[in-house]
Amino acid sequence: QVQLVESGGGVVQPGGSLRLSCAASGFTLSSSAMHWVRQAPGKGPQWVAFIGYDGRNEYYADSVRGRFTISRDNTQNTLYLQMNALRGDDTALYYCAKDFSSDWFEYMDVWGKGATVIVSS
């Protein structure tokens, strides 16, 4: 079945780096735009980043632009989020989500279960 599985979360010190991965199965990743969305404890979802089907279009939330990089390897059916210069307010459950569209924002029709990132000294 259609599935997204995130990995790579953990505890990291402020200023540190982490790379999240999202393995896709049950559908062709190369045909889908993808997102990262995070949710801090007790808060609502916050969109983080978007990448088009071929990796040419990328968009970021202001709070992560310049620190986070979204990328994809369609040959490996995997989405990534490289997170650098991490701060305490980056602590959250990070979801990868598939967009219904291939290259723009429509709606997120498949979500993973999330990977936990804790930024703490």
Partner 1 sequence: DFVMTQTPLSLTVTPGEPASISCRSSQSLLHSNGEHYLDWYLQKPGQPPQVLIYLTSNRASGVPDRFSGSGSGTDFTLKISRVEAEDVGVYYCKQSLHVPLTFGGGTKVEIK
Q: Is 8 in the site for partner 1 (CB under 8 A)?
A: no
Residue pair 27/49 in contact by the 8 Å Cβ criterion? no
Query: What number of CA atoms fall less than 13 Å from residue 19's CA on the CB side?
Result: 9
Q: Is 46 in the site for partner 1 (CB under 8 A)?
A: yes
Report the alpha-carbon distance of residue 111 to residue 99 in Å, rounded.
9
Q: Among residues 11, 15, 113, 120, which is the contact residue for partner 1, using CB under 8 A?
A: 113
Q: Is 108 in the site for partner 1 (CB under 8 A)?
A: yes
How, if at all, do strands 115-119 and 10-12 pair?
parallel
Which among 8-16, 21-29, 83-91, 107-115 is the span making contact with partner 1, rule CB under 8 A? 107-115
CB-nearer residue toward partner 1: 29 or 33: 33
Residue pair 23/78 in contact by the 8 Å Cβ criterion? yes
CB-nearer residue toward partner 1: 42 or 121: 42
Residue pair 93/38 in contact by the 8 Å Cβ criterion? yes
- Residues contributing to the site for partner 1 (CB under 8 A): 35, 37, 44-47, 50, 59-62, 95, 97, 100, 105-109, 111-114
